[in-house]
Structure 1
Amino acid sequence: MTDILKPEVDRRTLLRRAAAVGLLATPAVTMLSACVGGGSDDKDDSADKPAGTVSATNPLGIKEDEPLEIIIFNGGLGTKYATDVDIPSYNKLFPKSKVTFNQAEEISTVVQPRFTAGNPPDMINNSGSKLMDQGALVQAGQVQDLTELFAAPSVDIAGKTVKDTLIPGTIEQGTFNGKPYVLNYAFTVFGLWYSGKLFKDNGWTAPTTWADFTALLDKMKAKGITPFGYAGANAPYYMYTLLLTSAAKIGGADILKNIDNLEDGAWTNDAVKQAATAWAEIGAKYSNKAFLGLKHTEVQLQQDQYKVGLYPSGSWLENEQAKDTPEGFDYQLMPVPSVTSADKLPVTALYAAAGEQYFVASKGKNPRGGMEFLRHMLSKAGAVGFTQLTKTLTVVAGATDGMEISAGLTSGNKALGAAGADTFSFRFDTWYKKLDDELRAATNELMYQGGTADKFVTRMQKAADAVKKDSSIQKFSR
């Protein structure tokens, strides 16, 4: 068996935790017990020992005719990067290996039952509004340690290991208590997106202060445009990322670190409350409560029709809307305006981090093949192909330097350059699914259902305290 994280909980607690997220049903108890038990003689060590010949081109020792199964989330990034770039790259080195490809819009619905049954795919893109609980998967011993992957040589960047080719912080973003289990592949810049054409036609400029921000929203409202909105049905994550961005700017990036670490009072910190107060007013005065029942693509389509002025999202947005975006729309990104004149971080500060989770199932039939597939994704050719097809950067440093890219990606890169070292992110959403679920509901209440900042921070602190006190949940920290 691969070297897995051994949580400081007893066996019964671990099984209860796994059952809570659907990793086992009653008939599958034996299966999971064998997977996560300590000292069992029936361990599967297929990922520990190379089944094939280790060589310069096969550093992980892949058995050349071993089949491989992958499943990719079909969302804003699509799936063509896998079918048109990464699978051909893998098969170039391993032509005898049959790669079975599947896609899904609801990853947990499709994949979780397969973990329960004991036959998961080898490599999974865990993303979307119905992603699996990544922390629980790690805790249950279902996720492959990627240390060997990152130590392996790059496919096509001579003289460097995979780790050497990555943007700093990439491996840490997918690390759980000291071990790398997840590859966060897409480098995402998050902020407020707008039409450059709409702004140019009306003589508007991107605001930097909250007063200028609300003044702009008033101008949009006067023109019959819904100034701001997000989709409550499946994308409150977009909105809560914006709110926490404001909190980090007001109080400093440690606000998010304290939330991640389940520090006492992290959610009731005044910076979070100020951010919630500011955004609750935006929801009440400048949005459309009907958006509560819409999906992200429905609100995004309204923006493409010039009916919505500003929309919170990551840099995948431009690609996701490509078929509906009118000629000359000109996607542009603005950083979240400063809420106060005393914000600890400048207006140029951004939420920017490696995102979009990919992991290898330690109990899959070919975990080494799953790691090898990720090695091809992390090649220069893989990164270039991904960016060309998705208009999104990867975590392979400098892979797309000098490329002519789209308006939105150019705008995001410019904002990233202006941010410099003032970038930040959070981790609790992948560590603690219960907290993520509660925050989605609390955000919708705050923005669209008459909630208040006091109620929001109190609700979230209660949820965080409950996670902290629950001994069945493995705790992580940074």
Structure 2
Amino acid sequence: MGSTSAHGENSTDGLGRRDLIKRSAALGLIAVPTMSFLSACAAGGDESATKGGAPKGAVTKENPFGVAKGGKLDVVVFKGGFGDDYAKAWEAAFDKKWGTTSSHLGTQEITAKLQPRFNGGNPPDVVDDAGAQQIKLDVLAKGGQLADLAVLLDAPSLDDPAKKVRDTLIAGTVEQGTQGGKFVALNYVYTVFGLWYSGKLFKEKGWTPPKTWDEFLAVCTKAKEAGIGGLAHQGKFPYYINVVIMDLIAKKGGLDAMKAIDNLEPNAFEGSPVALAAVEAVYEVVEKGLLMPGTNGLTHTESQTAWNQYKAAFIPSGSWLENEQLKQTPDDFDMKFLPVPVLADSKLPFEAIRAGAGEPFIVPEKAANKAGGLEFLRSMLSREWSTIFAQQANSLTVVKDGVDPAVKLRPGTQSAVEALKGAGDNTFNYLYTEWYSEMGTEIENASNELMAQRIQPKEWIKRAQAAVDKAAKDPNAKNNRRS
């Protein structure tokens, strides 16, 4: 959740969050399982040293990857808005079950700490490869640095060994973590994306949450008249405003418009009236002076805190926002989620929302204890470990049927859960941010120029299409295809 932790650690705004479209949080709590898997002991076996120096255990139904008792496990996690207490709790549980000794590193400097280790052939066993300084997954995949996680999908689930792990995951999880046709990243946290507002502010002002873009502009105009910004955005990190632009494209043009972008079509942006209408809609907010003053120069935490201080009506973000802003949010703020309002003649309804898996966990191909890494991921997909994550990070995971309706949720979390229910099958998610990181960055840069009025919508379209055309020349692009 960015370069700042929800618990206040490492709140260095300057770090930024290059790939937050992959981040997530605050959707709900996972039901506590009726039976602990930690009491189940793995079968022993011949433990002989493997080529990598890590001992190897016997492969059994309870130990599908052959984890050795008493080995070492090296875990590195991105310490952002979720903190890293959840990972420490996981490691303690893993060590208790397997007799292993885990080493733990929680950091925001993923690339700086890990690139030398990947280059040297001695990477960790498990990595939460997230945040502004993430090592790009497409780069790691091309370099053959990521273990194929298909074996994880086909392993028995810890909660119900009659089921495979793949059958316990929310739809889209596997697609989200696939690079060049191989499943290489377990995106663990389930996020919804859209706009956010204060229920208290809207009630006080008598504003109705908008469903159409015209209604959205009307509320922003009323806000301006009341001396409040209409829309705040995290100006220094333009992937946030891209949530609005890209959602407008998907909603107006339907899934075909979204897939055209992911599939690098020559008319994904240029020659697409849908894309132009979306960019022009967002630009209208700028032209009419409906942005919160100064928002273009702010970091994510600065703009979000100003919004928490009632200086703007709306802000775009993923559902990690509530967890990230816990300390800055007034007790009676009443945080609410709003799907991006629709343009006229949109193919998808207002209720449709971008939702998907984020926070990629990987097992490096050259991990010393690859079996341990795979088992760690399998354990993450148990209800027990999902519960640990929920308790420590107030967030929903990709494990199916995880929300306990009896648990009282925070307001933003509750509204996100309700929005997800309201969307039903009308959820969508872009993949270009995972498949083509450079293209994603170039589109973000164009949005930065647009919001500062240094370029017009047609120039944005031109630049976005140029980024698509460049990505289409990538030899790996033929393996990334949405049908």
Q: TM-score band (shorter)?
A: 0.7 to 0.9
The match for 2:357 is 354
Q: Distance in 1 between matches of 2:195 and 2:96?
A: 41
The match for 1:265 is 267
Q: SS at 1:393's partner residue?
A: coil
Residues 123-132 or 211-220, more deviating: 123-132
Q: SS at 2:56's partner residue?
A: coil
Post-superposition offset of 1:452 = 1.4
Any residues of structure 2 matched to 1:210-225 within 5 Å, and which? 210-225=213-228
Post-superposition offset of 1:262 = 1.0
The match for 1:255 is 257
Calculate the TM-score normalised by the size of structure 1.
0.86
Q: Distance in 2 between matches of 1:321 and 1:447?
A: 24
The match for 1:55 is 60
Q: Distance in 2 between matches of 1:50 and 1:422?
A: 47
Structure 1: stretches of 5+ with no match in the other structure: 1-43
The match for 1:68 is 73
Q: Distance in 2 between matches of 1:424 and 1:302?
A: 30
Any residues of structure 2 matched to 1:168-247 within 5 Å, and which? 168-233=171-236, 235-247=237-249
The match for 1:344 is 347
| Aligned residue identity for 1:477 | R
1:130 pairs with 2:133? yes
The match for 2:467 is 463
Post-superposition offset of 1:353 = 0.9
Any residues of structure 2 matched to 1:259-408 within 5 Å, and which? 259-268=261-270, 269-284=272-287, 285-288=289-292, 290-340=294-344, 342-402=345-405, 403-408=407-412
Question: Does the 8 Å CA contact 2:292/2:311 hold for their aligned counterparts?
Answer: no
Q: SS at 2:294's partner residue?
A: helix
Question: Does the 8 Å CA contact 2:75/2:105 hold for their aligned counterparts?
Answer: yes
Question: Does the 8 Å CA contact 2:292/2:312 hold for their aligned counterparts?
Answer: no
Question: Does the 8 Å CA contact 1:135/1:474 hold for their aligned counterparts?
Answer: no
Question: Does the 8 Å CA contact 1:208/1:338 hold for their aligned counterparts?
Answer: yes
> How high is the sequence identity, in percent, across the aligned residues?
41
| Aligned residue identity for 2:266 | D
| Aligned residue identity for 1:415 | A
Q: Deviations over 1:182-218 (max 9, x none)?
A: 1111110111011111112222221011111111001
Any residues of structure 2 matched to 1:9-20 within 5 Å, and which? none
The match for 1:14 is none
The match for 2:427 is 423
The match for 2:47 is none
Question: Does the 8 Å CA contact 2:180/2:477 hold for their aligned counterparts?
Answer: no
Residues 256-265 or 101-110, more deviating: 101-110
Post-superposition offset of 1:470 = 4.2
Post-superposition offset of 1:475 = 5.0
The match for 1:20 is none
Q: SS at 1:254's partner residue?
A: helix
In structure 2, the CA distance between the partners of 1:163 and 1:437, relative to structure 1 (3 Å rule), is same
Q: SS at 1:273's partner residue?
A: helix
Q: Deviations over 1:335-382 (max 9, x none)?
A: 111111x11110111001111211111112112211111112111011
The runs of 4+ residues in structure 1 deviating greater than 4 Å are 44-47, 470-475
1:442 pairs with 2:454? no
In structure 2, the CA distance between the partners of 1:291 and 1:114, relative to structure 1 (3 Å rule), is farther
Question: Does the 8 Å CA contact 1:391/1:406 hold for their aligned counterparts?
Answer: no
Post-superposition offset of 1:123 = 1.4
In structure 2, the CA distance between the partners of 1:181 and 1:46, relative to structure 1 (3 Å rule), is farther
In structure 2, the CA distance between the partners of 1:305 and 1:368, relative to structure 1 (3 Å rule), is same
Q: Deviations over 1:48-71 (max 9, x none)?
A: x99112234322111122211111
Q: Distance in 1 between matches of 2:341 and 2:279?
A: 14
In structure 2, the CA distance between the partners of 1:363 and 1:168, relative to structure 1 (3 Å rule), is same
Q: Distance in 2 between matches of 1:232 and 1:314?
A: 16
| Aligned residue identity for 2:142 | Q
Q: Distance in 1 between matches of 2:338 and 2:431?
A: 23
In structure 2, the CA distance between the partners of 1:127 and 1:323, relative to structure 1 (3 Å rule), is same
In structure 2, the CA distance between the partners of 1:293 and 1:475, relative to structure 1 (3 Å rule), is farther
Of 130, 151, 164, the match for 2:167: 164
Of 98, 101, 104, the match for 2:104: 101
Q: Deviations over 1:72-97 (max 9, x none)?
A: 1122222222123x2122123112x1
Q: Distance in 1 between matches of 2:136 and 2:334?
A: 36
Post-superposition offset of 1:129 = 2.3
Post-superposition offset of 1:158 = 5.0
Post-superposition offset of 1:143 = 0.4
Question: Does the 8 Å CA contact 1:73/1:125 hold for their aligned counterparts?
Answer: yes
The match for 1:4 is none
| Aligned residue identity for 2:429 | S
Calculate the TM-score normalised by the size of structure 2.
0.85
In structure 2, the CA distance between the partners of 1:456 and 1:289, relative to structure 1 (3 Å rule), is farther
Structure 2: stretches of 5+ with no match in the other structure: 1-49
Post-superposition offset of 1:473 = 6.9
Residues 353-362 or 400-409, more deviating: 400-409
The match for 1:110 is 113
Post-superposition offset of 1:232 = 2.4
Q: SS at 1:394's partner residue?
A: coil
Question: Does the 8 Å CA contact 2:212/2:341 hold for their aligned counterparts?
Answer: yes
In structure 2, the CA distance between the partners of 1:129 and 1:282, relative to structure 1 (3 Å rule), is farther
Q: Deviations over 1:271-318 (max 9, x none)?
A: 111111101121342114633332211111111111122111111111
Residues 243-252 or 441-450, more deviating: 441-450
Q: Deviations over 1:125-171 (max 9, x none)?
A: 12222322211211111001111111222223453221121112211
Post-superposition offset of 1:324 = 1.6
Question: Does the 8 Å CA contact 1:188/1:316 hold for their aligned counterparts?
Answer: yes
Post-superposition offset of 1:46 = 5.8
Residues 103-112 or 436-445, more deviating: 103-112
How many residues in Structure 1 have an aligned counterpart in Structure 2? 430
Q: Distance in 1 between matches of 2:111 and 2:292?
A: 30
Question: Does the 8 Å CA contact 1:280/1:451 hold for their aligned counterparts?
Answer: no
